[in-house]
């Protein structure tokens, strides 16, 4: 058991028995999640690593102690096969797991072998042609074609010509494979990321997720496109040229290789340092991307607070840390390559002097010496190439590990078996003593119960931070309750099919997200097959048709990135139209009209209600005047229900609601 990385709230460990044991991975995940403070656990039998996310300061023991205890208790660990018997999977690691199947690699590999084989042959023909020319055959010109020189130079020309075609085919085959692979890998990673719980997004941060999609996939693709081909080239050169070298002049090779054994240990150490440096580089790169993303999304606030310099300083500090990590990784890799090449180059110099002296003395033939002098640098170059391939392999392997972790991570919110077809949903919602907290150490909702009957409107009001939006997030099962239960049409959410549940609910948030595209594209998100008439109808009910018709291009007008070309109120109304088009039996409006003036807000709420009288509605609002007609009003404060009833009853009660009402109506 070995700690690989640790930041507050997040530790990654190497657990050897985990390798190749999916049962242990599953049991370990379950066992660790039982501990107070542990938020998420992701154990990978592929990499033998476990990632533990926890609330800072909320664990009862160290992560290491929890791991040891869980490992001791689990039965699978005792029955797990010893590492030596685990076969190919244990040896291969995440990168080989992620690379395409051998079947797909066959064609480009075949071109690689032919192309690099021809290149090696070309070199040998050069030497042979040279040696034939040095024979100074007097009949050379007369019997050019039949002579050794003629044959060798013809072979050289043929192999050069053939290799031009083969090289083109080789590069093309790898390029095609890599591009198709990259596309498929990105689609897989994107699907895996989007399947994660919201808690994972909160924990991992956008920087890391963006890096997974861009840099990590690109590193693996680049290794596939060039690394595998280079590996074939180096392997063939070492194999063919190396064997020829050994048979030509074993003593000279032995002399040249004398310094190599002294390099084994330092090279091993450098290899470990290089892997650690790569991991650090990846982590810093994630942070930098995250800072960049934050800066660009918050550019309006940065400019309005004239905080550009502050932001640049923050970014430049992050960029400096990334540059330092990159430099460290590059220096270790380069040191590794130089050490290896230096060892061989020293040997080469010794061999040249020794061989040269022997040739002068006539104890070594010119041809052997010439061939050795040609072949040795080829093999030397290939050995240098191996360390380069190794560097790329390490980068790709560390990316593959990160990707595998995401691809193998099972969201803790899992779909249930009970189907809930949208057409058959009545729209009844029941919260029973719901307790919830985002972090294990804190509680945001303290035993809330509520009942929304089909077709009714339930309003939730209360001070800021009291947990109103959290209740809606729980209803959509973005998080699971810690205690109590939530039911839709009598079914506990945890038993329901997740897609069915979310299809049954439309939600409009405080700051709805509009995608870069047209107004129509954004509304169609609610129901992609809807007609233009349906879109116009939804826009009308949301009070948006008038301003949309005034835009250049009307429904086809571009809204800009995040809907930047529209006002806050216009964005909200398009989001309401989108939710209405979805025609879900339950509509949740979380301060969805807060950017509008009172009259527009009231008008839109009326028309939304009229759009479907059978729809159940939950409305979260700060402006109490907009919810006074609700069938039930829930007053929430600090995660608890303080009051419940209709507007008049609550006013008569004279509690928090009536206090807020009087405050807002200026009485
Ligand atoms: N993703 C999150 N991670 C951790 N804590 C959170 C998260 N989202 C909300 N909280 C916390 O949960 C509490 C309730 O937040 P919530 O957004 O539900 O309040 P609200 O009543 O909707 O507030 P407002 O009226 O300001 O929108 C707050 O203390 C908030 O800090």
Q: pLDDT tens for residues 443-465?
A: 999 999 999 999 999 999 998 89
- Residue 514's φ and ψ, nearest 5 degrees, are -105, 135
Cα–ligand 1 centroid distance for 469 (angstroms): 7
Query: Using 50, 70 and 90 to split pLDDT, how confident is the model at 646?
Result: very high
| Residues 6+ positions from 334 with CB-CB distance below 8 Å | none
Is the pLDDT at 475 greater than 90? The verdict is yes
Instruction: Give pLDDT, residue 78.
Output: 43
Question: What average pLDDT does the segment 161-168 reach?
Answer: 84
Ligand 1 binding pocket includes 504 (Cβ within 6 Å): no
Whose CA is closest to 221, among 277, 178, 256? 178
Cα–ligand 1 centroid distance for 639 (angstroms): 10
Least confident of 265-269, 279-283, 301-305, 544-548: 301-305
Ligand 1 binding pocket includes 478 (Cβ within 6 Å): no
Tens digit of each residue's pLDDT (9 = 90 or more) over 185-204 = 998 888 888 888 887 787 77
Instruction: Give pLDDT, residue 230.
Output: 92
Is the pLDDT at 341 greater than 90? The verdict is no
Query: Using 50, 70 and 90 to split pLDDT, how confident is the model at 85?
Result: very low
Is the pLDDT at 89 greater than 70? The verdict is no
**H or E element at residue 440:** none
Ligand 1 binding pocket includes 206 (Cβ within 6 Å): no
Question: What average pLDDT does the segment 20-45 reach?
Answer: 79
Name which residue sits closest to atom 18 of ligand 1, judged by CA: 467
Which of the two residues, 667 and 507, has the higher pLDDT score? 507
Name which residue sits closest to atom 14 of ligand 1, judged by CA: 467
Name which residue sits closest to atom 4 of ligand 1, judged by CA: 438
Q: Can you tell me which atom of ligand 1 is nearest the CA of 591?
A: 27
DSSP per-residue string spanning 533-597: HHHHHHHHHTT-HHHHHHSTTGGG-B--GGGTTS-HHHHHHHHHHHHHHTT-SEEEEESTTTTS-
Name which residue sits closest to atom 10 of ligand 1, judged by CA: 438
Mean pLDDT computed over every residue of the chain: 83
Query: Using 50, 70 and 90 to split pLDDT, how confident is the model at 591?
Result: confident
Instruction: Give pLDDT, residue 294.
Output: 81
Whose CA is closest to 390, among 175, 118, 95, 106? 95
Cα–ligand 1 centroid distance for 620 (angstroms): 13
Which of the two residues, 9 and 177, has the higher pLDDT score? 177
Tens digit of each residue's pLDDT (9 = 90 or more) over 347-370 = 888 888 888 888 888 887 877 888
Largest CA distance in the chain: 123
Ligand 1 binding pocket includes 479 (Cβ within 6 Å): no
- How far apart are the C-alpha atoms of 666 and 656, rounded to whole Å? 15
Cα–ligand 1 centroid distance for 57 (angstroms): 20
Residue from 465, 623, 624 to probe ligand 1 pocket by mutation (most atoms less than 8 Å from CB): 465
Q: Can you tell me which atom of ligand 1 is nearest the CA of 639?
A: 14
Ligand 1 binding pocket includes 543 (Cβ within 6 Å): no
Query: Using 50, 70 and 90 to split pLDDT, how confident is the model at 143?
Result: low
Tens digit of each residue's pLDDT (9 = 90 or more) over 374-384 = 888 888 888 87
Encode 270-282: b = buried (16+ Cβ within 10 Å), e = exposed.
bbebbbebbbbbb
Query: Using 50, 70 and 90 to split pLDDT, how confident is the model at 645?
Result: very high
Ligand 1 binding pocket includes 529 (Cβ within 6 Å): no
Check if the beta carbon of residue 200 is closer than 8 Å to that of residue 280: no
Instruction: Give pLDDT, residue 86.
Output: 35
- Residue 2 CB-density burial (10 A; 0-12 exposed, 13-18 middle, 19+ buried): exposed
Is the pLDDT at 488 greater than 90? The verdict is yes
Query: Using 50, 70 and 90 to split pLDDT, how confident is the model at 83?
Result: very low
Ligand 1 binding pocket includes 309 (Cβ within 6 Å): no
Instruction: Give pLDDT, residue 667.
Output: 54
Instruction: Give pLDDT, residue 444.
Output: 93
| Residues 6+ positions from 342 with CB-CB distance below 8 Å | none
Domain 427-504+587-592+621-667 sits in CATH at 3.40.50.300
Cα–ligand 1 centroid distance for 460 (angstroms): 14
Cα–ligand 1 centroid distance for 467 (angstroms): 6
Ligand 1 binding pocket includes 201 (Cβ within 6 Å): no
Tens digit of each residue's pLDDT (9 = 90 or more) over 171-183 = 999 999 988 899 8
Ligand 1 binding pocket includes 509 (Cβ within 6 Å): no
Ligand 1 binding pocket includes 306 (Cβ within 6 Å): no
Question: What average pLDDT does the segment 649-667 reach?
Answer: 83
Tens digit of each residue's pLDDT (9 = 90 or more) over 388-414 = 888 888 888 888 988 988 888 878 888
Helix, strand and coil in the chain, % to nearest 5: 65, 10, 25
Annotated domain spans of the chain: 2-86, 93-407, 427-504+587-592+621-667
Instruction: Give pLDDT, residue 272.
Output: 81
Ligand 1 binding pocket includes 359 (Cβ within 6 Å): no
Q: Can you tell me which atom of ligand 1 is nearest the CA of 473?
A: 18
Percent of the chain with pLDDT over 90: 19
Whose CA is closest to 44, among 89, 102, 99, 101? 89
Ligand 1 binding pocket includes 75 (Cβ within 6 Å): no
Cα–ligand 1 centroid distance for 286 (angstroms): 26
Percent of the chain with pLDDT over 70: 93
Cα–ligand 1 centroid distance for 437 (angstroms): 10
Name which residue sits closest to atom 31 of ligand 1, judged by CA: 465
Give the ipTM of the model, two decimals please.
0.96
- How far apart are the C-alpha atoms of 304 and 300, rounded to whole Å? 6
Instruction: Give pLDDT, residue 87.
Output: 32
Domain 2-86 sits in CATH at 3.30.70
Instruction: Give pLDDT, residue 137.
Output: 54
Ligand 1 binding pocket includes 470 (Cβ within 6 Å): yes
Highest mean pLDDT among 51-60, 172-181, 658-667: 172-181
Residue from 201, 444, 593 to probe ligand 1 pocket by mutation (most atoms less than 8 Å from CB): 444
Q: Can you tell me which atom of ligand 1 is nearest the CA of 439?
A: 4
- How far apart are the C-alpha atoms of 260 and 479, rounded to whole Å? 58
Cα–ligand 1 centroid distance for 470 (angstroms): 6
Which of the two residues, 37 and 566, has the higher pLDDT score? 566
Cα–ligand 1 centroid distance for 204 (angstroms): 19
Query: Using 50, 70 and 90 to split pLDDT, how confident is the model at 84?
Result: very low
Instruction: Give pLDDT, residue 88.
Output: 33
Both tokens assigned to 293: 């993303």
- How far apart are the C-alpha atoms of 500 and 514, rounded to whole Å? 23
Which of the two residues, 127 and 660, has the higher pLDDT score? 660
CATH superfamily of 93-407: ABC transporter type 1, transmembrane domain (1.20.1560.10)
């Amino acid at each position: 058991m070995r700690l690989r990385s640790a930041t507050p709230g997040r530790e990654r460990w190497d657990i050897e028995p985990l390798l190749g044991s999916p049962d242990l991975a599953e049991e370990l995940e379950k066992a660790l999640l039982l501990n107070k403070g542990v938020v998420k656990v992701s154990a990978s039998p592929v990499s033998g690593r476990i990632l533990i996310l926890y609330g800072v300061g909320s664990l009862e023991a160290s992560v290491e102690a929890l791991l040891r205890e869980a490992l001791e208790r689990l039965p699978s660990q005792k029955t797990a096969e010893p590492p030596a018997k685990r076969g190919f999977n244990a040896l291969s690691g995440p990168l080989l797991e992620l690379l395409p199947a051998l079947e797909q690699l066959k064609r480009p590999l075949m071109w690689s072998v032919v192309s690099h084989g021809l290149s090696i042959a070309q070199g040998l023909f050069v030497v042979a042609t040279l040696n034939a020319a040095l024979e100074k055959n007097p009949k050379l010109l007369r019997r050019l074609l039949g002579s050794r020189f003629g044959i060798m130079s013809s072979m050289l020309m043929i192999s050069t010509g053939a290799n031009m075609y083969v090289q083109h085919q080789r590069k093309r085959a790898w390029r095609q494979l890599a591009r198709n692979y990259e596309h498929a890998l990105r689609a897989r990673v994107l699907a895996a990321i989007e399947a994660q719980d919201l808690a994972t997004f909160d924990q991992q941060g956008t920087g890391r997720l963006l890096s997974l999609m861009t840099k990590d996939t690109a590193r693996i693709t680049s290794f596939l496109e060039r690394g595998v081909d280079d590996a074939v080239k180096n392997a063939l050169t070492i194999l063919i040229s190396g064997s020829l070298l050994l048979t030509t002049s074993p003593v000279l090779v032995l002399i040249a290789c004398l310094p190599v054994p002294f390099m084994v240990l330092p090279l091993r150490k450098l290899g470990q340092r290089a892997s650690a440096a790569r991991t650090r580089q990846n982590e810093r790169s994630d942070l930098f991307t995250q800072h960049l993303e934050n800066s660009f999304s918050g550019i309006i606030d940065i400019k309005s607070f004239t905080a550009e310099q502050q932001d640049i300083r923050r970014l430049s500090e992050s960029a400096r840390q990334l540059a330092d990590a990159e430099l460290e990784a590059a220096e270790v890799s380069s040191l590794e390559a130089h050490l290896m090449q230096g060892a061989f180059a020293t040997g080469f110099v010794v061999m040249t002097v020794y061989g040269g002296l022997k040739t002068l003395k006539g104890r070594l033939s010119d041809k052997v010496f010439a061939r050795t002098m040609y072949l040795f640098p080829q093999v030397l170059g290939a050995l240098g190439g191996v360390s380069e391939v190794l560097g790329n392999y390490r980068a790709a392997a560390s990316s593959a590990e990160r990707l595998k972790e995401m691809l193998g991570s099972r969201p803790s919110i899992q779909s249930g078996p009970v189907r809930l077809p949208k057409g058959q949903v009545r729209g009844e919602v029941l919260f029973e003593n719901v307790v919830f907290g985002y972090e294990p150490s804190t509680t945001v909702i303290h035993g809330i119960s509520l009942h929304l009957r089909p077709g009714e409107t339930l309003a939730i009001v209360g001070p800021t931070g009291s947990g109103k939006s959290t209740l809606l997030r729980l209803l959509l099962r973005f998080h699971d309750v810690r205690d109590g239960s939530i039911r839709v049409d009598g079914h506990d959410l945890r038993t329901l099919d997740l897609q069915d549940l979310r299809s049954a609910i439309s939600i409009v948030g405080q700051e709805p997200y509009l995608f870069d595209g047209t107004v129509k594209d954004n509304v169609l998100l609610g129901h992609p097959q809807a007609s233009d008439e349906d879109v116009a109808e939804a826009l009308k009910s949301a009070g948006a048709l008038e301003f949309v018709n005034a835009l250049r291009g009307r429904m086809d007008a571009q809204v800009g990135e995040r809907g930047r070309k529209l006002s806050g109120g216009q964005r909200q109304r398009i989001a309401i139209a989108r939710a209405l088009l979805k025609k879900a039996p339950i509509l949740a409006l979380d301060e969805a009209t807060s950017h509008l003036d009172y009259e527009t807000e009231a008008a839109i709420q009326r028309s939304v209600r009229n759009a479907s009288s059978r729809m159940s509605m939950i409305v979260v609002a700060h402006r109490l005047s907009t919810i006074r007609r609700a069938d039930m009003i829930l007053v929430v404060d600090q995660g608890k229900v303080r009051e419940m009833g209709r507007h008049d009853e609550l006013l008569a009660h004279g509690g928090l609601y009536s206090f807020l009402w009087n405050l807002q109506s200026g009485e």
